């Protein structure tokens, strides 16, 4: 269940193939959709699938074609305004909350945009020999993979909040694996190396390989299952303020939270919305769609804690992972020596390094080859529409 190796030391040929694979996957993810599903933004943090398809394309157009392909004509002069996500260096853009109101360009036009950009990217990829350009193409592909996972989770949010619970598709790999291994891995005290090393691709937030001193700890081989979490719920976990962080307790009460996202209690039985529709909760499957607040309260109830991201990385090779993004007890902050790149690309990660927690691992929705053991994912403590889970430490 451990993710494959990531794209590394690619030849130009590899890169051309990789480009096609990644770009095709985005469209494949959308195949089961009706046109209507591409449009809405039910909450600000969920973007329309149409927007993801266009935005990941805009990324290639803006950072590569406009700078590196002589004579390139941008597809449409308003698309930068519509499909820039958060790059202040690139100019104004629509308010994030308005993405779901933009019905034009149509989906057909967005696919035409993708095709136009792909055709021009093919010219570039014929002869990549500029390492800066190679890096940008790789960044663009990894960026698109990030949006692939977001597309899946955003589609789940859109369909899963429809009272008629439409099926996305039957079958596939997006569903809930069961846990097979028991027990804890014991890790010894000492200095560990943390962060990316070597030539393979990584994001800037993984850089700055550095030393961390860890005290002895044990970390669970397995992720928490639905059954364990049902026990927490049955024991009154959502009602006992002593288990919760203060902000977590406010979150529970303000939002009347009493179960993971997508769970519904129908006549005494717990169901969950999955991409195959509404289904009974499988007690053996690994838990998903919980916030940091819930993960921390569960750990408190167990008399354990969440691992730090450093503990996680130190132990990673002895763990299975890849089913869920695993909340750690580390805040998302820069590594020693981190610096933001100049210009728009420098906005990619650094400016988000505050008030979020690090998640490690990968999930069933993560694109093949996208994650690695040094990968630092990050979300706010109340967010749970990703496939997030819990690994305990002590």
| Binding to a copy of itself in span 112-151, by CB under 8 A | none
Measured CA to CA, the distance from residue 123 to residue 70 in angstroms comes to 11
Least distance (Å) between residue 19 CB and a copy of itself: 28
Name the nearest CA neighbour of 145 among 323, 369, 356, 350: 369
Do residues 62 and 90 touch, judged by C-beta distance below 8 A?
Answer: yes
Determine which residue in the list 67, 73, 89, 180 makes contact with a copy of itself, applying CB under 8 A: 89
The reply on whether position 277 binds a copy of itself by CB under 8 A is no
> Is residue 42 a contact point for a copy of itself (CB under 8 A)?
yes
Of 71 and 163, nearer to a copy of itself (C-beta) is 163
Q: Which stretch binds a copy of itself (CB under 8 A): 65-73, 283-291, 313-321, 334-342?
A: 334-342
Q: Which of 122, 123, 191, 235 binds a copy of itself (CB under 8 A)?
A: 191
Whole-angstrom distance between the N-terminal and C-terminal Cα of the chain?
24
* Range in contact with a copy of itself (rule: CB under 8 A) among 195-203, 205-213, 231-239, 384-392: 205-213
List binders of a copy of itself among 55-74 (CB under 8 A).
Answer: none
Pick from 153, 30, 51: nearest CA to 104: 51
By the rule CB under 8 A, 161 interacts with a copy of itself? yes
Does 330 contact a copy of itself by CB under 8 A?
A: yes
Yes or no: say if 89 and 347 are a contact pair by the CB < 8 Å rule.
Answer: yes
In Å, what is the CA distance from 173 to each residue of 22, 170, 274?
17, 10, 12
Q: Considering the complex, what minimum distance in angstroms separates the CB of residue 101 from a copy of itself?
A: 4
**206: closest CA among 335, 392, 83?**
335
**Selected range binding a copy of itself among 67-75, 105-113, 128-136, 218-226, rule: CB under 8 A:** 105-113
Q: Output the smallest distance, CB 327 to a copy of itself, in A.
A: 12
Closest to 135 (Cα-Cα) out of 239, 31, 38, 207: 207
Structure-token pair, residue 52: 């993801």
Buried b (16+ CB within 10 A) or exposed e, 76-104: beebbebbbbebeebeebeeeeebbebee
Work out whether 160 is an interface residue with a copy of itself (CB under 8 A). Answer: no
Burial class (CB in 10 A: 0-12, 13-18, 19+), 174: middle
Q: Per rule CB under 8 A, is residue 212 in the interface with a copy of itself?
A: yes
Residue of 183, 178, 150 whose CA lies nearest to 50: 150
Complete edge-to-edge strand list for the sheet that includes strand 263-266? 263-266, 269-274, 277-280
| Candidates 9-17, 130-138, 153-161, 259-267; binding stretch for a copy of itself (CB under 8 A) | 153-161
Stretch that binds a copy of itself, among 95-103, 127-135, 136-144, 227-235 (CB under 8 A): 95-103
Considering the rule CB under 8 A, would residue 352 count as an interface residue with a copy of itself? yes
341 binds a copy of itself (CB under 8 A): no
Contact positions vs a copy of itself (CB under 8 A): 34-40, 42, 50, 78, 81-82, 86, 88-89, 94, 98, 100-107, 158-159, 161-164, 166, 191, 210-213, 215, 241-242, 244-249, 292, 296, 300, 305, 329-331, 333-334, 336-337, 340, 346-347, 351-355, 381
């Amino acid at each position: 269940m451990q993710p494959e190796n990531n794209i590394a030391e690619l030849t130009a040929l590899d890169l051309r193939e990789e480009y096609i694979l990644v770009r095709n996957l985005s469209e494949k993810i959308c195949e089961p959709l009706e046109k209507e599903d591409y449009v809405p933004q039910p909450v600000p943090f969920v973007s329309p699938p149409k927007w993801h398809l266009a935005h990941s394309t805009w990324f290639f157009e803006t950072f590569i074609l406009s700078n590196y392909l002589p004579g390139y004509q941008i597809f449409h002069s308003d698309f930068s305004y519509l499909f820039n996500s958060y790059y202040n260096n690139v100019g104004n853009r629509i308010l994030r909350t308005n993405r779901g109101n933009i019905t034009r360009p149509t989906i057909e036009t967005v696919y035409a945009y993708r095709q136009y950009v792909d055709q021009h990217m093919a010219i570039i990829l014929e002869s990549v020999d500029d390492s800066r350009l190679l890096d940008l193409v790789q960044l663009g592909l990894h960026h698109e993979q990030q949006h692939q996972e977001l597309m899946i989770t955003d589609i789940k949010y859109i369909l899963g909040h429809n009272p008629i619970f439409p099926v996305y598709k039957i079958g596939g790999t997006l569903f809930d694996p069961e846990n097979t291994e028991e027990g804890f891995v014991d890790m010894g005290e000492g200095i560990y190396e943390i962060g990316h090393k070597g030539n393979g691709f990584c994001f800037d937030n993984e850089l700055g390989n550095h030393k961390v001193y860890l005290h002895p700890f044990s970390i669970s081989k397995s992720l928490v299952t639905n059954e364990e979490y049902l026990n927490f719920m049955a024991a009154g976990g959502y009602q006992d303020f002593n288990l919760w962080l203060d902000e977590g307790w406010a979150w529970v009460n303000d939002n009347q939270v009493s179960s993971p996202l997508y769970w519904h209690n129908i006549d005494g039985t717990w169901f969950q919305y999955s991409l195959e529709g509404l289904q009974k909760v499988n007690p053996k499957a690994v838990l998903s769609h919980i916030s940091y607040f819930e993960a921390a309260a569960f750990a408190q109830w167990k008399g354990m804690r969440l691992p730090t991201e450093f503990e996680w990385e130190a132990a990673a090779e002895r763990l299975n992972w890849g089913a869920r993004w695993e909340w750690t007890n580390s805040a998302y902050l820069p590594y020693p020596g981190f610096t933001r790149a100049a210009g728009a690309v420098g906005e990619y990660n650094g400016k988000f390094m505050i008030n979020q927690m690090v998640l490690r691992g990968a999930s069933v929705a993560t694109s093949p080859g996208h994650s690695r053991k040094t990968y630092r994912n990050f979300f706010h403590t109340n967010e749970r529409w990703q496939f997030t889970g819990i690994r305990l430490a002590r």
